[in-house]
């Protein structure tokens, strides 16, 4: 069965103390009486990773993810953080190809393929993001674009490699805008992605991959989105910064 996942992308937010409090509040809320939780992943800024790992490491329901990694392993790449460094800190996941990285840092499919390889080579699980800008959806080209994004960054992998990927479908027009895709729109795109993977790798592989929805998920809409057949949880931005709201979203992802 596919794993349900709720991941919080904190982006460039929170002081060290606030980050500590946020993770601590969520971890302590879910004491052992909650047994059917999704996998919960905190993705804080780089400087807080070690602290959040230390808050979560006693509880296997929680993991920590980075928001990006370099395509290189080591060397003269000022300002970069590599997959082996993340691995050594106890990080388990890394977001790759977030639309903000594509938009503001010019990350393209070829680069993202290299980052995916770097993550996998270090036993980190990539949370690979894809999704269309509004203009592309209005032009009715969204399925083609998302299929291309998936192909460019992932289809070089062997079946054993792609099985280790988590995909997040995040329509750009829904990120941080308060405008959520309807559950119908989300389901439609998740099914498109899964079918595309099935076409290349077969149904069994496609059925094993968790595909998360991202884009203004909140406590009010999470349950409906997560109940779609091909939606395996969410990648949550703004609402993951508020402990009570994130807790409700996690509950919505429970079995």
Q: Does 176 help bind ligand PEP (rule: CB under 6 A)?
A: yes
CB closest to ligand PEP, residue no: 237
Q: Does 175 help bind ligand PEP (rule: CB under 6 A)?
A: yes
Q: Do residues 113 and 156 touch, judged by C-beta distance below 8 A? A: yes
Q: What 3-state DSSP class applies to 154?
A: helix
98 counts as catalytic: yes
Q: Give the one residue of 237, 243, 249, 252 binding ligand PEP; rule: CB under 6 A.
A: 237
170 counts as catalytic: yes
Element (H or E) spanning 83, and its range?
helix 83-89
Out of 100, 170, 196, 245, pick the active-site residue.
170
Give every CB contact of residue 49 below 8 A, 6+ residues apart in sequence: 64, 66, 86, 89, 91
Token pair, residue 156, equals 């070089």
Q: In this complex, which beta carbon is closest to ligand PEP, that of residue 84 or of residue 237?
A: 237
DSSP conformation class of 174: G
Out of 98, 142, 190, 196, pick the active-site residue.
98
Of the candidate spans 85-93, 139-147, 184-192, 209-217, the one that interacts with ligand PEP by CB under 6 A turns out to be: 209-217
Q: Does 6 help bind ligand PEP (rule: CB under 6 A)?
A: no
Closest distance of CB 178 from ligand PEP, Å: 8
Q: Does 236 help bind ligand PEP (rule: CB under 6 A)?
A: yes
Q: In this complex, which beta carbon is closest to ligand PEP, that of residue 65 or of residue 84?
A: 65
Q: What 3-state DSSP class applies to 126?
A: strand
Residue 214 has, within 13 A of its CA and on its CB side, a CA count of: 32
Q: Does 215 help bind ligand PEP (rule: CB under 6 A)?
A: yes
DSSP string, 184-245: HHHHHHHHHHHHHHHHHH-HHHHHHS-EEEESS--TTTHHHHHTSTT--EEEESGGGGSHHH
- Which residues lie near ligand PEP (CB under 6 A)? 9, 170, 175-176, 214-217, 235-239
Residues annotated as catalytic are 98, 170
């Amino acid at each position: 069965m596919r794993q349900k996942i709720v991941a919080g992308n904190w982006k460039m937010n929170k002081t060290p103390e606030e980050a500590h409090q946020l993770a601590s509040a969520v971890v302590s809320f879910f004491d052992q009486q909650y047994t059917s939780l999704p996998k919960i992943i905190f993705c804080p800024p780089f400087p807080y990773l070690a602290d959040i790992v230390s808050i979560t490491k006693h509880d296997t329901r929680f993991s920590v993810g980075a928001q990006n990694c370099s395509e290189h392993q080591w060397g003269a790449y000022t300002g970069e953080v590599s997959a082996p460094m993340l691995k050594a800190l106890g990080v388990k996941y890394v977001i790759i190809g977030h639309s903000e990285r594509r938009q503001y840092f010019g990350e393209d499919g070829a680069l993202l393929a290299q980052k995916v390889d770097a993550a996998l080579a270090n036993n980190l699980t990539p949370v690979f993001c894809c999704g269309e800008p509004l203009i592309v959806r209005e032009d009715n080209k969204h399925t083609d674009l998302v299929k291309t994004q998936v192909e460019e960054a992932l289809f070089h992998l062997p079946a054993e490699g792609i099985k280790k990927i988590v995909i997040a479908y995040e329509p750009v027009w829904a990120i941080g805008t308060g405008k959520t895709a309807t559950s119908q729109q989300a389901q439609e795109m998740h099914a498109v992605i899964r079918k595309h993977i099935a076409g290349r790798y077969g149904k069994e592989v496609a059925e094993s991959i968790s595909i998360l929805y991202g884009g203004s998920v909140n406590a009010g809409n999470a349950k409906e989105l997560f109940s779609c057949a091909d939606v395996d949880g969410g990648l949550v931005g703004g609402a993951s910064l508020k402990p009570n709201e994130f807790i409700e979203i996690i509950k919505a992802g429970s079995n």
